[in-house]
Chains A and B, each alone.
Chain A
Amino acid sequence: MNIATILDMAAEAFGDRIGVVCGTQRLSYAELRQAAWNAAVAIKTSGASYVALLDVTSPAAPVALFAAAYAGLPYVPLNYRLTKAEINELVARVSPAYLVTSPDYAKLVDAHAGVTLVDRNAFMSLPAIEGEPPIPGDDPREVAVQLFTSGTTGKPKAAILRHENLSSYIFGTIEFACAEEDDAILVTVPPYHIAGISAVLSSTYACRRMVQLDGFEAGTWLAACRSENVSNAFLVPTMLQRVVDHLAERGESANLPALRALAYGGGKMPLATIQKAMALLPGVDFTNAYGLTETSSTIAVLTPDDHRAAASSTDPAVCRRLGSVGKPGAVEIEIRDDEGKVLGAEEAGLVFVRGPQVSGEYLSLGSQLDAEGWFPTKDRGYLDAEGYLFLDGRSDDVIVRGGENISPGEIEDVLLGHAAVADVAVVAMPDEQWGEAVAAAIVLKPGAVVPVAELQELVKARLRSSRVPQKIIFKDALPYNETGKVLRRVIRQEFASA
């Protein structure tokens, strides 16, 4: 089993169809495979053990992913937003490497013995192979992709995804060549994110044209949707928020007649954002996709029908599902308490997942699966009676106040309900009496003023006194990473050092 088979099949069945578009570059699936073959031979000749990419999204990303598979080496896309020191530490960890990059990022890489730097343009114009094309390996246990997780503490962990994990996700959840001739998906997630990897694999297997944008700006995204007749797109919540704001600020109608499906994930979606987006794009199918790097992407989906049912129902149990991540896809999900006991419906605990697409494995740390094959996601949440999964933050983010576990999510939801509050993050702060206390960093809407006591009173009235933030600070903006996850660690440090 090898993910190269995905490209082989697309090139075999729809070789003339455009596979990837980036600016003025357009490659058919046959051209994509030819480029991957050429690169695989060059990679093998270099003697590298890893194929790395340090660059924004471009056609070089799918070519490098598949070339690594043909060459039988792990593909390691690196986060180009890291500091020079962090980048060089990761480069050293994958040496000897064949590193594809562009001039802006090449200058960040120190000379490492064993690292072959290859310019992106040269990589895309390698000489055509002579003779038989490379035959991909068939060992399903070979490593296909290695992703360095962002790692909130300590060194980044190297998550391992084997050919069997990624293949079973693709073969098990997508019908081959299910895309129509004119379909296109707009890809804005960076290549080093699991959603960037799965976008390439899913689109190729569906034989759907990928339209790449090397960054995200709402106006550019809308323009690309229109000019490329984009039918499908994936956005992280922050990006969808910006699209909604962009349209609202200009009083512009969305005017995206070709757009049929919009999937979102990668972080918590504010209820108000998805409600506004559904109102602005009434003809679009919305899908909430929940997944992790260690699970080869999506493990649960809230389908378009679920979205419509939740939006139109008068049953509170159905309405609230707009805030859920839906039902398990091709995996099993269960909720356990801190002692490992499996919990019933509506009981909150830790989310565990099991299935062939789940790798749950890090280089040097080994497999994190338990004896029965379950992976601890470290997300907290609960299932409702019909199996819809509701997430409630990361277990690392839980505030332990005097022995009581407090989830930041419920407090944030209450504070976001205040008319003056635009954004909020609730974190733990050190406290002599309680060990940890509740603290909130709040961004007010432009021009709004609200006394701290009013916000504290709101939480007390809606939840209970132990949930009331002991300290509230007002900020111009909260720190986010590029995929829309709020950086709680940075906010915690701010309270700890105050």
Chain B
Amino acid sequence: MATALKAGARFKSAVCDTQVMVIKAPPGEHALQCGGADVIAPTAAGSGTLDAALSGETLIGKRYVNADESVELLCTKGGQGSLVLDGMPMEVKQAKQLPSSD
């Protein structure tokens, strides 16, 4: 199922504990899945089972991007499922970490 990804929007996995927030995304619809199932609204009830082939884990605090980094998600709660956008696995993006300044 395709969904519009708006900056700030939150989703959760239907089949594991993973929760994500959209940091940035271009206009248009995308298919976002976690653990092999379409993500759902944060308040919706999950259903289904985790696909073992897509259980590479999503880690809290990591940012996930697609190949051209046009879509960026922040994992706000970790879970067993891995993120797939439009059929392609998402990769971890490193923060441009600055020395602690405040």
Contacts and interface: CB of A to CB of B under 8 A. Distances in A.
Interface of A: 1-2, 5, 8-9, 12-13, 135, 138-140, 163-164, 167-168, 171-178, 185, 195, 198-199, 202, 206, 232, 234, 261, 263, 265, 285, 287, 289, 291, 297-298, 301, 303-304, 329-330
A175 B7 contact: no
A289 B61 contact: no
B95 A174 contact: yes
B99 A287 contact: yes
B100 interface: yes
Contacts of A199: 102
Interface of B: 7-10, 21-23, 42-43, 60-63, 74, 76-78, 94-102
A287 B97 contact: no
Given A8-B76, A9-B61, A176-B60, A303 B8 contact: no
Contact of B100 (A168, A176, A206, A297): A206
A175 B100 contact: no
A198 B98 CA distance: 14
A163 B98 contact: no
Contacts of B74: 5, 171
Contacts of A5: 21, 74, 76
B101 A263 contact: yes
B101 A234 contact: yes
Contacts of A167: 23
Given A1-B21, A8-B76, A164-B7, A173 B98 contact: yes
B95 A301 contact: no
Contact of B61 (A139, A172, A175, A303): A175
A289 B8 contact: no
B63 A301 contact: no
**A interface secondary structure, majority:** mixed
Most buried by A among B22, B43, B99, B102: B102
A291 B21 CA distance: 27
Contacts, number: 98
Given A176-B60, A287-B99, 4 more contacts: A1-B8, A138-B8, A171-B74, A232-B100
A139 B22 CA distance: 11
Contact of B95 (A173, A265, A291): A173
Contacts of A12: 60, 76-77
Most buried by A among B22, B98, B101: B101
B95 to A, nearest CB: 5
A89 B43 CA distance: 42
A263 B99 contact: yes
B60 A13 contact: yes
Most buried by B among A5, A164, A168, A303: A5
A161 to B, nearest CB: 14
B98 A301 contact: yes
Contact of A9 (B22, B60, B99): B60
Given A163-B8, A164-B7, A172-B95, A202 B100 contact: yes
Contact of B23 (A1, A139, A232, A263): A1
A38 to B, nearest CB: 21
Contact of A329 (B8, B21, B78, B96): B96
Top 5 nearest A-B pairs by Cβ distance?
A176-B61, A289-B101, A1-B8, A140-B8, A198-B102
A325 to B, nearest CB: 11
A263 B61 contact: no
Contacts of A135: 42-43
A266 to B, nearest CB: 10
Contact of A174 (B7, B23, B62, B97): B97
Nearest to B43: A135
A313 B19 CA distance: 49
Contacts of B7: 1, 140, 164
Most buried by A among B8, B43, B99: B99
13 contacts: A1-B7, A5-B76, A9-B76, A13-B78, A171-B95, A174-B95, A175-B61, A176-B62, A177-B61, A195-B102, A202-B101, A263-B102, A329-B96
B79 to A, nearest CB: 12
B63 A330 contact: no
A175 B97 contact: yes
A296 to B, nearest CB: 10
Nearest to A5: B76
A285 B99 contact: yes
B102 A261 contact: no
Nearest to A233: B100
A12 B76 CA distance: 9
